[in-house]
Amino acid sequence: MTEVTFAILAAAALLFVCRLWAGPSLADRVLALNGLILVGMGAIATHAAHTGTGAFLPSLVAVALVGPISNGMIARFIEARGQ
């Protein structure tokens, strides 16, 4: 069942990459990157639960802390650029 979970997450990542490539504006691409980060978080958590090694789990905490900062920066940039 873990393989099915990984396959579903991979399909979701592919769809996000489609939006990253095709998105007409910068906000769409930021959205797609956020989605890729979420898929990465899910993959790390599933892998940790599957193999039992929790060595990669603090990266989830780090991403959850740093994500809003980068989003805020890009939001300011979008507003300033006007596009």
Partner 1 sequence: MIGELLALGGATLVLIAAIGVVRFPDALTRMHALAKASTLGVLLILAGAAVNLDDVNDVTSVVLAGVLHVLTSPPASNMVSRAAYLVEGMAGENDAVDEGAWLRGRRGVSPSPQEPGRFGDQAGTSAPGE
User: Residues interacting with partner 1, by CB under 8 A?
Assistant: 1-2, 4-5, 8-9, 11-13, 15-16, 18-19, 23, 25, 27-28, 30-32, 34-35, 38-39, 41-42, 45-46, 48-50, 52, 54, 57-58, 60-61, 64-65, 67-68, 71-72, 74-76, 78-79, 82-83
Grouping H, G, I as helix, E, B as strand and the rest as coil, residue 53 is coil
Grouping H, G, I as helix, E, B as strand and the rest as coil, residue 25 is coil
- Give the Cα separation of 33 and 42 in Å (integer): 14
Grouping H, G, I as helix, E, B as strand and the rest as coil, residue 52 is coil
* Shortest spacing between CB 31 and partner 1, in angstroms: 5
